[in-house]
Structure 1
Amino acid sequence: MSEADKNLETVMGLIMNGGNAKSSAFEAIHAAKAGDFKLADEKLKESDQFLTEAHNVQSGLLTAEAQGEHTKVTLLMVHSQDHLMNAITFRDLAGEMVALYKRLSAKEA
């Protein structure tokens, strides 16, 4: 596998896992809004799993960099990092929103 192909595979792993994490977090918010807190918790856990996978890919890049294997920084690489950070932020916010919906539901009961 060429270096360019390896970089593209890494970048796509970050983008796909980040996107999946954000989608699952969004689904968690919708489930909580509908009062389905079991599903909301499952979706948050699913989001965390995608983020863990993305983190593992990112850690591989950082380890290689620390060992002197410098990765060519492209716009696509920057985009993938931005995409991942956005997903992490969205997951954090989703967790807070699910907790808020749970609190509101408990007060209504």
Structure 2
Amino acid sequence: MTEEVIFNIILHAGNARAEAYDALRAAQAGEFIKAAGHLQQAEEEIGAAHRVQAEMIQQEAQGNKAELTLLTVHAQDHLMTAMSEKNLIESMIGMHKTIRQLSDKLEASLCQD
């Protein structure tokens, strides 16, 4: 297993985190379609990282034991953190949608009075 393979996990996980935070910023601005696009990109990046990880696991299952290095642990940590943050951000975006809807209803009812 080369460092390049490990860095691919880190790269894709980092891209996923960036897309997830872009999604959150879009949702905060009320741009929910744009947020959904960023979440889709985040999911694709996580998928790419998972494919690299799966290849590493398959190699090990075939008897090609990988040396456990700090870089490998860092890559795994980076991926798991990106996945957790994306999941949390998805929930936060749902809350932003609810807040926006309630705010719009409140504003509409106040305008009628």
TM band (smaller chain): over 0.9
When normalised by structure 2's length, the TM-score is 0.89
Q: Give the counterpart letter for 2:84 in structure 1.
A: T
Q: How far is the alpha carbon of 1:23 from its aligned partner?
A: 0.5
> C-alpha deviations, 1:64-92, integer Å up to 9, x for none?
11111111111111111111111000110
Q: How far is the alpha carbon of 1:34 from its aligned partner?
A: 0.6
**Bigger CA radius of gyration:** 2
Task: Find the residue that maps to 2:2 and give its secondary structure.
Answer: helix
Show structure 1 runs of 4+ deviating over 3 A.
Answer: none
Q: CA RMSD in A?
A: 0.8
CA distance in 2, matches of 1:59, 1:80: 13
Identity %: 35
Q: Give 2:28's match in structure 1, choosing from 33, 52, 57.
A: 33
CA distance in 2, matches of 1:86, 1:10: 19
Which residue of the partner structure matches residue 111 of structure 2?
A: none
Q: How far is the alpha carbon of 1:16 from its aligned partner?
A: 0.3
CA distance in 1, matches of 2:91, 2:39: 11
Which residue of the partner structure matches residue 91 of structure 1?
A: 86
CA distance in 2, matches of 1:94, 1:67: 37
Which residue of the partner structure matches residue 11 of structure 1?
A: 6
Query: What residue ranges of structure 1 are gaps of 5+ in the alignment?
Result: 1-5
Query: What residue ranges of structure 2 are gaps of 5+ in the alignment?
Result: 105-113
Residues 16-95 of structure 1 aligned to structure 2 (within 5 Å):
16-95=11-90
Q: Give the counterpart letter for 1:96 in structure 2.
A: S
Find out whether 1:105 has 2:100 as its counterpart.
yes
Q: Give the counterpart letter for 2:69 in structure 1.
A: T
Report the count of equivalent residues: 104
